[in-house]
Structure 1
Amino acid sequence: MKLVCPVCQAEFSLEAALNDRAARDAIVLAFRMTEIGDVLISYVQLFKPAKRALSLSKLEKMLTELVPIVTAGKVSVQGTEYPAPQAYFRQAMETMLASRESLILPLSNHRYLFKIIAGYTQKASGQAERANEQGRKYGEYHTADKPAARNIVVAPAPGKVKAEMPARVRENLKRFAQNAQHYIDKKGAEDGE
């Protein structure tokens, strides 16, 4: 099988392309990551020097660093580990490619990619925390994801006994209610004069 160089249009055999061990290893590594393989090809171009091609040995080194991290599903940023599903890698790489003009190229490491992924994880955990808090506040029948159900009576969970209100709190509420009633009566009397 003959291949054609996209730059110089020279023909060469597939065996010649795969003859170099680094090229073969880089290709194998790239295709192990099928979910992000297509965007990965563009991402590695961010490491290419301006006036030269990306060497296959450098490509292999980059992929050897990146593949275990992607397959492990977590990144480390400043000593903190963050979960990183492959969808986060794809989204982070696409973000970097979309803003390539603002990047200082060629990149020398994956730190910026990991930082973006950590940001996605922090954002997702913040959203989960808000949903959890909203669930605690309004109960499981009203969350941000689904509208409040109408006409649902929620019985207390079996085995859970409603705690008695402390006497001090009850007295404070009673005093507050009396003061509020006194204020309302006084205000009504002033308005009626």
Structure 2
Amino acid sequence: MQLTCPCCGEQFPFEAGLADEEGKRLAALFAEMPPKLAKAVLSYLRLFSPAKRSLRMSKAIRLVSDLQQLVDAGSVTRDARTTDARKATPALWVAGIEQVIVQREKLTLPLENHHYLRAVVYGIASDPAAVQALTPKTVKPGTDANERLERYYQIQNDLRLKLITPEEADKRLKELGQ
């Protein structure tokens, strides 16, 4: 079976990606993750690639393993020195990764660790409305939790930029289930 690289378009046999021991370890780490988280982490890893060469497999394994430990903890602190923790579900981590990727141009790349992501997820976890938008029980049928969070932030930004009135924002938030 041939796969096509989504970045460069090059084709390669599926087995080639798992030929070495490190490739197998990385694949096993991704297999343990919820699919949406695994997809987000794949994109997130690009932020760690040096400008003129690719990310070493050993570093990718370490990064994914470290991130999985953060997710598995079920809570997040702003940084490693603080003890003020917030509950953080995998959906919050996905939303945090997506926010970091959107801010790529503002970041100093390559990233070296997950400190910035941790701060972003902590910020999301500190926002009750964002947490509610990402909580599965509040998701309307057919609406993705990340889609809801994106809509929530869009409404907040539109209000802040005075593109909509407070009344219109309230109406949209009610439609969103807030």
Q: Is the contact between residue 30 and residue 38 of structure 2 (CA under 8 Å) also seen in structure 1?
A: yes
Match of 1:63 in 2: 64
Q: Is the contact between residue 75 and residue 86 of structure 2 (CA under 8 Å) also seen in structure 1?
A: yes
Shift of 1:51: 0.9
Q: For 2:64, give the aligned amino acid.
A: L
Name the CA shift for 1:91/1:4 in 2 (closer, same or farther; >3 Å): closer
Q: Deviations over 1:93-142 (max 9, x none)?
A: 111111100000000000011101111222229x99xxxxxxxxxxxxxx
Question: 5+ unaligned residues in a row in structure 1: which ranges?
Answer: 129-144, 147-193
Report the 3-state secondary structure (helix = DSSP H, G, I; strand = E; otherwise coil) of the residue aligned with 2:127: helix
The normalised TM-score by structure 2 is 0.63
Q: Is the contact between residue 41 and residue 64 of structure 2 (CA under 8 Å) also seen in structure 1?
A: no
Residue of structure 1 aligned with 2:105, choices 101, 106, 110? 101
Residue of structure 2 aligned with 1:79, choices 74, 82, 93? 82
Structure 1 residues 123-138: aligned runs within 5 Å: 123-124=127-128
Identical counterparts, % of pairs: 32
Q: Deviations over 1:136-156 (max 9, x none)?
A: xxxxxxxxx99xxxxxxxxxx
Question: 5+ unaligned residues in a row in structure 2: which ranges?
Answer: 133-172
Larger radius of gyration: 1
Q: Following the alignment from structure 1 to structure 2, what is the Cα–Cα distance between the partners of residues 9 and 40?
A: 21
Name the CA shift for 1:124/1:4 in 2 (closer, same or farther; >3 Å): closer
Q: For 1:122, give the aligned amino acid.
A: S
Match of 1:174 in 2: none
Match of 2:126 in 1: 122
Report the 3-state secondary structure (helix = DSSP H, G, I; strand = E; otherwise coil) of the residue aligned with 2:86: strand
Shift of 1:55: 1.5
Q: Is the contact between residue 88 and residue 117 of structure 1 (CA under 8 Å) also seen in structure 2?
A: yes
The normalised TM-score by structure 1 is 0.58
Residue of structure 2 aligned with 1:112, choices 90, 113, 116? 116
Report the 3-state secondary structure (helix = DSSP H, G, I; strand = E; otherwise coil) of the residue aligned with 2:76: strand
